[in-house]
Amino acid sequence: MTKFDHAFDWVRRHVDDGPLPTAVLGIATSEGVVALDAFGAASVDDHYPLFSITKPIVGLAALRLIEQGRLTPETPLTRAIPSFGADRDDIVRLCHLASHTSGIIEPPLDTPRGLRTSLLEPGRDFPAGTVSRYSTIAFEGIAALIEDASGAPWERAVAEVGERADAAGITFDDVSPHAPVDAAEHGLDWARMAALRHPGAGLFARAADLLALGSALLRNDGSVVSPVAFEAMRRPLTAGLPKLEPYVESRGQDWGFTWNVRHSAPGLLARDTFGHGGWAGTEFWITPSLDVCFVFLTNVGGGIGRFGLDADELHNAVAAAA
């Protein structure tokens, strides 16, 4: 037992008594993992589909290229895809793709038309930079810019993020025994989704991989990104913009450079937490002031909120113990 007993009890209770089928919870500081356990028919070494936790990991790959002078947040998407936005009178830039302000019309997560075709669909939701609406297809644009700037497959740049953090288990290959339960009932064709290798939602990882990444970011030692990039990626890019469903103003967050910055979330004790969640209930959050990060992996189609569970309870149990 550790000082994080209440956090582990929260997970154990919701697996033992339902509704969670399986789960893994891990907690780390800048010095490494301090607690890690699995619940239900799961092992701490199991890979889980991360869904949207993919986004900030891909964002870290783009930041590395910004540090190398190969991109800037202002780089237009048309540099990588000249045919993009031929019917638009605005310019979609990397910063828009990374902050959910691109105005690209969002297709289904498991789009049968393919990612690049969906990205190039005509029309727009709103002019770039004027509104924030959550977008996953925008990360196909980030992947294109990474590939153009690096001269190599974009997945290579993402793998290098894991290598720099000693998190070699991060992969786009479906090696997980935990396909999301009830996926079809919630409108997702899981096999088609997994085959997309989606740069906005397609990664798989073990809890230890994300904890290694979180520890490296807490150390802020330049191994993943430079200290100046670490500060820049948490800088709100959506402050003052209208925020549309599902991330409305009352949620108390802004989008940084691919990170969810929960600076005034009404349910949280801490005020400097940043990270990301995923469609199947996955959570990855870092709180620098408390020198703590946590990873919660589960596999519930549509997320835990549909059962009335509130992940902010877990956030606060970790924060208070830290």
Q: Is the peptide bond before 246 cis (omega within 30 degrees of 0)?
A: yes
Buried b / exposed e along 295-315 (16+ C-beta atoms within 10 A): bbbbbbbbbbeeeebebeebb
pLDDT digits (tens, 9 = 90+) for 79-122: 999 999 999 999 999 999 999 999 999 999 999 999 999 999 99
In the chain, where the domains are located:
5-321
CB < 8 Å & 24+ apart, contacts of 88-91: 88/124, 90/124, 90/127, 90/128, 90/129, 91/128
Question: Residue 192: which of 121, 133, 118, 103 has the closest Cα?
Answer: 118
All residue ranges of the chain with pLDDT < 50 are none
- Structure confidence at residue 2 (pLDDT): 73
CATH of 5-321, one of 3.40.710.10, 3.40.47.10, 3.30.1490.70, 3.30.450.20: 3.40.710.10
Contact (Cβ atoms closer than 8 angstroms) between residue 179 and residue 49: yes
DSSP state of 254: E
- Specify the pLDDT at position 238: 98
